Copies of this chain bind each other. A is one copy, B any other.
């Protein structure tokens, strides 16, 4: 049942960020067209630091983690979190590719190490694109050479780097800030599972502020939990998801680095949710008063992953029954009758019974780009936050009419 006249929501327009990865002193980057993507667009990205950078990473938990993910984890460990370069290809995920895939990922790092004159384990590698297809290594090799030859610190090279990691993204995602003399800049790619064979989320946030490896390691989980791990477009985790934090340490240490990196990461994650599969808005679901943070997260995920909740958000339908019944279904809720549900500032449910509210006003408030859904219990101190995209006709179209 094809439907070619589905209204396509307009692509949101964001002013270009002033910052991209090359805004960070010490970082050179490039992005080139190597013929891996069928579209002919940029598909090899290279980032090189003139001195070792401190690095922390979080990788996919998927059992079918791709070869580049496994290799980068190994290299990060072997280099004791001090890396020189990062090479990425888009158009091919190098996942479900067996031992050949492992060899190809290693070959990419080896080539970069030779060019940069560093150890192979000082190079990390990411891939994103089609699953189950071997990498076209001739294109990859030529692309890496070309990318090395065009490395630069200018902002255009940073933008090319970003282009070369994008796949189904409807728009480029970058954000940054300068504060007390230190700069934080981040880029990412990802748009939910529009094309589940190309669904990877890659995110890189760099700063010139000096941060110790121990500090980075100690904070990356919390930063990710409030940003990339809180994006809940459709509860799939890809084979290639990677988030790296990088510090060149070229400027003085800023005490605000953690807050600033968190802010940048949160904005990038918001942009991913905003891009999700014909989404028209981002809904931030906050759970408070759960027994503990784990329970809060599970309750938020149960709400965020419901197709019924997401269609109500698409339809600007203040249908509180869909939100509260997901809470009512959770075995982790202890005092369900303490639930207070607040939608865009309007209380709609309290203590087991609906609250009278202006439905037209609620619907109007839901027709915004940022929607807030608060669920408060009285089970304990647990809280959690998730960002989810809505589910409309365009979601069905891109997902049902993808390969056939």
Most buried by B among A9, A239, A328: A328
Q: A6's contact among B3, B314, B315, B330, by CB below 8 Å, is which? A: B3
Q: How far is the CA of A319 from the CA of B7 in the complex (A)?
A: 24
Which chain B positions have C-beta within 8 A of A202? none
**A8 — nearest CB in chain B belongs to which residue?**
B1
A236 x B325 contact (CB < 8 A): yes
Which chain B positions have C-beta within 8 A of A239? 325, 328
Which chain B positions have C-beta within 8 A of A196? 308, 319, 321-322, 325
Q: Given A6-B3, A64-B352, A234-B307, do A314 and B392 touch, yes or no (CB 8 Å)?
A: no
**A302 — nearest CB in chain B belongs to which residue?**
B235
| Contact of A372 with B by CB under 8 A | no
Q: How far is the CA of A192 from the CA of B327 in the complex (A)?
A: 18
| Contact of A254 with B by CB under 8 A | no
A314 x B354 contact (CB < 8 A): no
| Contact of A63 with B by CB under 8 A | yes
| Contact of A381 with B by CB under 8 A | no
Which chain B positions have C-beta within 8 A of A322? 193, 196, 236
Which chain B positions have C-beta within 8 A of A98? 352-353
Which chain B positions have C-beta within 8 A of A333? 63
**Segment among A142-150, A179-187, A396-404 that sits at the interface with chain B:** A396-404
- Which residues, 300 to 316 on A, are CB-close (under 8 Å) to B? 305-308, 310-312, 314-316
Q: Which 7 A-B pairs have the closest CB atoms?
A: A315-B400, A63-B336, A311-B399, A132-B354, A64-B328, A63-B328, A311-B400
Contact surface of A with B, Cβ cutoff 8 Å: 1, 3, 5-7, 9, 61-64, 96-98, 131-132, 193, 196-197, 234-239, 280, 305-308, 310-312, 314-319, 321-322, 324-331, 333, 336-337, 352-354, 359, 363, 391-393, 395-397, 399-404
Give 5 new A-B contacts, CB below 8 A, not counting A196-B321, A312-B399.
A96-B354, A193-B308, A234-B306, A312-B402, A393-B397
